[in-house]
């Protein structure tokens, strides 16, 4: 499954928080079936990314390393537009029956 992730540092994020978070990041090993496809930073501190995961549990495992302490997340499951077209056609056909 593909997920679009937005996140930003929590209000009050400190120098010490940054050092602690970096230490976690340097030792981070993603769980099996979890792959970061893209991880970007915006000038205003927001972060955006795409992750692919075989399970929501793996996504939860990764996000809980930082969530609640350092980062606020929004994780949205998404599909490629090409994969959505047959589903859209099916929905239209069902509504027209």
**pTM score, whole prediction:** 0.80
The whole-number pLDDT of residue 41 equals 92
Q: What are phi and psi of 43, to 5 degrees?
A: -60, -25
Lookup: tokens for 22? 């970096």
CATH code for 2-96?
A: 3.30.70
Positive or negative: CA dihedral 53, 58, 63, 65: negative
pLDDT of res. 19: 92
* pLDDT per residue rounded down to tens, the chain (97 residues): 999 999 988 888 899 998 998 999 899 999 999 999 999 999 988 999 999 999 999 999 999 988 878 889 999 999 999 999 999 999 999 999 8
């Amino acid at each position: 499954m593909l997920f679009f992730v937005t996140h930003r540092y929590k209000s009050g994020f400190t120098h010490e928080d940054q050092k602690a978070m970096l230490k976690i990041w340097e030792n981070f090993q993603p769980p099996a079936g979890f792959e970061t496809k893209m991880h970007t930073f915006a000038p205003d501190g927001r972060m955006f990314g795409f992750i692919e995961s075989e399970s929501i549990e793996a996504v939860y495992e990764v996000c809980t390393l930082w969530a609640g302490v350092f980062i606020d997340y929004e994780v949205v499951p998404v599909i490629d537009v090409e994969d959505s077209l047959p589903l859209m056609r099916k929905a239209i056909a069902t509504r027209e029956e």
